[in-house]
Chains A and B, each alone.
Chain A
């Protein structure tokens, strides 16, 4: 498999970034759900500390992904995709990228507003983005929660679209992002 994006497939770097971010998003939802069910205490603090460390990791990976994408254009959509489908795909991907930045950034700001600086796995501390403020915290927390629901919806759409391409359109779009798939074209 080539490292950079080939004509019909995503390369190793784009795939590694895609799947590691995907896995971390799953971890993030699980950690957030576990923490939400806990009373204030050390266990909650630890879960949220890990949530923040993974969130900052996603932010860094999202930056890398975007930069990589600017210099390595992804494979073009299948020629027979309709204008409408292309529009939906573009919108979904734009929403995913936006949320990949918006989720960690609102989380980071939320921590800053609560005067809890964000550590990265106890190795170093990120600077606070804004000053402490209970009102800002509430607003950012609600935004972070709302965006998480939006992210869940867009991820579901993304997965359903990939499955539709694979089983309905049979155009190999899903295989372009699968590391172990043969680069066969179903067109």
Chain B
């Protein structure tokens, strides 16, 4: 359930070397003769941990504005393959496939409309796909840049998230913002942003367990 001891030790060594290097760099005015340690070799030894989601404890929702009032819907079915380690951002990767048919806004009429040709058009595009390209550490956590393919349109969408190790796994919580019309979500009458807001907020909370 946990990373192998060997890899953890290597990760610790790399982290220590990196922090020493960082300390040296952040003190440029220090006396010249201070010996500068050799740059860390930064080998790709720290590998991300491959996680799967615990479906019952994982949620993917979006919030839009309809006729002036916000509404929130969930996707009941999605698969997220999360390869992540804060020490191995370069090798980390999220790959998420969302079953658009599983949209649930607690109203059958609205769900039916959203599945229809003018909104998600699930018969033609049954899934949406998000895959990351890169990760960055931020003050609040992490930011991933990735591509979202929705309704046949692919666009870059950054997501901000927090990652926390838990007993036996990890949690991943974050959010993203998209403009629905960038993806053609809303054709015909539904192109109007006066009654259906263009801004849509996506929130996710994933309970992760390491893959075996």
**A residues adjacent to B (C-beta < 8 A):** 40-43, 45-46, 48-49, 52, 114-123, 125, 132, 134
Contacts and interface: CB of A to CB of B under 8 A. Distances in A.
Given A115-B105, A132-B106, A132-B107, A122 B189 contact: no
Given A43-B189, A49-B195, A134 B69 contact: no
Contacts of A114: 106-107, 109
A46 B107 contact: no
Contacts of B189: 41-43
Contacts of B69: 116-119, 125
A121 B68 contact: yes
Contact of A119 (B68, B109, B112): B68
B190 interface: yes
A46 B68 CA distance: 10
A42 B66 CA distance: 10
Contacts, number: 54
Given A40-B109, A115-B105, A134-B108, A45 B68 contact: no
B66 A45 contact: yes
Contacts of A40: 109, 112-113
Interface in B80-111: 105-110
Contacts of B68: 49, 119-123, 125
B192 interface: yes
A51 B113 CA distance: 21
B195 to A, nearest CB: 6
A54 to B, nearest CB: 13
Given A49-B68, A125-B70, A42 B105 contact: no
**Among the interface residues B106, B108, B113, which one has the most CB atoms of the partner chain A within 10 A?**
B106
Nearest to A126: B69
B195 A117 contact: no
Contacts of B107: 114-116, 132, 134
Contacts of A43: 189
Given A52-B67, A119-B67, A122-B68, 6 more contacts: A40-B112, A42-B195, A116-B67, A117-B69, A122-B67, A125-B69
B192 A42 contact: yes
**Among the interface residues B66, B67, B70, B71, which one has the most CB atoms of the partner chain A within 10 A?**
B67
Interface in B105-126: 105-110, 112-113
